[in-house]
Amino acid sequence: MGTGSQWSRDKVYLRAKHEGFRSRASFKLIEIQEKFAIIRRDDNVIDLGAAPGSWLQVLRTLTEGRVLGIDLNPIAALDGIETIEGDITDPAIQQRAHEMLGSVSVVVCDAAPKLSGHKSYDQARAIALGEEALSFACNVLKPGGNFVIKSFQGADFPELFALIKEHFRAVKTYSTKATRKGSTEIYIIGKNFKG
């Protein structure tokens, strides 16, 4: 996220910068963790669509396990974080992630597709990205694992929610306080992967 003028007086953005996080998104994960306790101290965690790395920074503080970020774009180095540059739909990338971490307890994804400005197209792309992240999670998570994904409310949203419900014993939606007013952004939290 650029430091465009729209952010210059944004309290959440300024707090993120002040506390050394790469973006305001950090606080969304902190809030989700406080409410849902998705990450335990020894969990190995994969962050999909991890660039620029603000969720990775938070994850490093939440677990003593291994933390892996995957993105199509390079992720600037962070202490104690492993990264893979590649496509999450590529089976070779999924295999590599699994080999690096062994047991994976949590998969998170705060990625959003590049927006075109066409609402229905962007919505469909976001749902497709959600399905790709879910597929990745189902391939690497151990039974009982947790999943967090950003999505957007719209016509296709119930379909993604239902799909996640097929794979996790408890599924909830959550809008964070750090989300900009008027945004349709919503997080889906899947707990206790059926395996």
* Long-range Cβ contact pairs of 67-75 (< 8 A, separation 24 or more): 68/44, 68/97, 68/100, 68/101, 70/46, 70/97, 71/111, 75/50, 75/51
- Alpha carbon dihedral 187, 192, 193, 195, in 10-degree steps, equals 180
191 part of the active site: no
- Out of 119, 150, 177, 181, the active site residue is 150
Contact 39, 33 (CB under 8 A): yes
Measured CA to CA, the distance from residue 53 to residue 171 in angstroms comes to: 26
| Residue that the structure tokens 């597709």 belong to | 113
Active site residues: 150
